Every structure is written in C-alpha cells, then in structure tokens.
Chain A
Amino acid sequence: GAGVSQSPSNKVTEKGKDVELRCDPISGHTALYWYRQSLGQGLEFLIYFQGNSAPDKSGLPSDRFSAERTGGSVSTLTIQRTQQEDSAVYLCASSLDDRAGTQYFGPGTRLLVL
C-alpha cells in the first residue's frame, strides 16, 4: 500500500515568508508525528496527533510553528515569518499505535530559507 507522502519535496523561501508543509499519513494510522532533521540539532520531535485528543506540541521550537490535522488524516505544518535557522528537513511519520508501534516516515520536505 501507499506509504506516508509529503509535499512539497523541496521548498525555497525568503526570510519572513510563511510556509505550509503537508503530510498524508498511511490510511488507518491514528498517530501522526512531525520531526525536524537539521545539521546542528539532529532529529528532533516537533508535534504529535492522536485521534481526537489534544495534540502534544511540546517540541515546537517557537510560536511561529503550528500544525493541524484535519479529519484525523492529512496534517499541515505551518511556519510563520520563517528564519534562516528554520532551514531543515521536515519529516512526518505515522503509526497504528502511539506506544511501541512502528513509525513509518515520509520522504521529508527540505526547506531552505534564504
């Protein structure tokens, strides 16, 4: 079946602009995660959605970052007023279970802020 898909695959933007990154999880997966992979910080957790529960936003680095998940499926990560330090690969993952369930990762969106 189809895996996790993300769009766009690459995004170049100017400092100060807003960007939206999209994630389509595997059908039927109730848990969805966003991570960021950057040279300086490695792989870090950003936000987690599970069903209709309130999301765990504890990893979001600033209030410029937000995310939503509509209808329990597609998720959008929004970065407002982008800064150069936001440049990274943004990864989305989904899983059937939010504990020891395997997380399946998408190919990522590579964001470059000029």
Chain B
Amino acid sequence: GDSVTQMEGPVTLSEEAFLTINCTYTATGYPSLFWYVQYPGEGLQLLLKATKADDKGSNKGFEATYRKETTSFHLEKGSVQVSDSAVYFCALSSSSNTGKLIFGQGTTLQVKP
C-alpha cells in the first residue's frame, strides 16, 4: 500500500542554519504531496503542497519539490528561526482514493537561539 517515510528526529539546529527534512514515498499513480506543521499547543496546518511532478510548493520560506524519479518531497529552508520549532509531517494523497492523507511519522525540529 501507499506509504510515506521521513527522517527521524529530533532535529536540533541553531538559528539561521539550513534545514532539510527528507521525505520519500511509495504510491501507485500520481499522488499529491503535502507538508503539514504542528506548532506547540496548536493543530495541524498545511505548510505547502505539490500536486504533480516537478511542482515546487513554497510558503514562509520553506520549499519542497515533487521529484517523481526519486519519489521524494524533501522540505528545505535556507535560514531557520526559533519560531520554526515544531513537528513537521510529510503526507500524500493518492489519486486513486478518497483524498485521505497518509502521513509520515513526523520530524520534531528544535531551533535554538
């Protein structure tokens, strides 16, 4: 079945460091790909998405490119801030199902001043 694998955390970075959180997927067809973020004490919210190969999703300085050849959707940010500390979830929605999201295990990011 469809699945998402993302790098384990926690990831601890200093402010202004470069961030990469790896995400790979297994799916039939052409899924849509998402990054959701969960800030401390808050609900899940969409960070960015891409719906077809080579699309780049971007928001709040974060970017991820849909790479069909490597079945990846890595999250990157050039300069992280303390306020980016959160749990990040990679997810897919298969084109052949109801749109339900299949999530990776989540990666905790802690940014230190």
Contact = CB atoms under 8 A, between A and B. Distances in A.
Nearest to B52: A100
A31 interface: yes
Interface stretch (A19-27, A71-79, A90-98): A90-98
B100 A106 contact: no
Contacts of B49: 100, 102
Contact of B99 (A35, A98, A107): A98
Interface in A58-114: 59, 91, 93, 95, 97-108
A31 B97 CA distance: 13
A42 B106 contact: yes
Contacts of B101: 33, 35, 43, 45, 93, 103
Given A103-B46, A103-B99, A104-B46, 18 more contacts: A31-B99, A33-B99, A35-B101, A42-B104, A43-B89, A43-B103, A44-B103, A45-B102, A56-B98, A59-B100, A91-B44, A97-B99, A98-B99, A99-B93, A100-B49, A100-B93, A101-B99, A102-B46
Interface in A40-64: 42-45, 48, 50, 56, 59
Interface of A: 31, 33, 35, 42-45, 48, 50, 56, 59, 91, 93, 95, 97-108
B14 interface: no
A95 B13 CA distance: 34
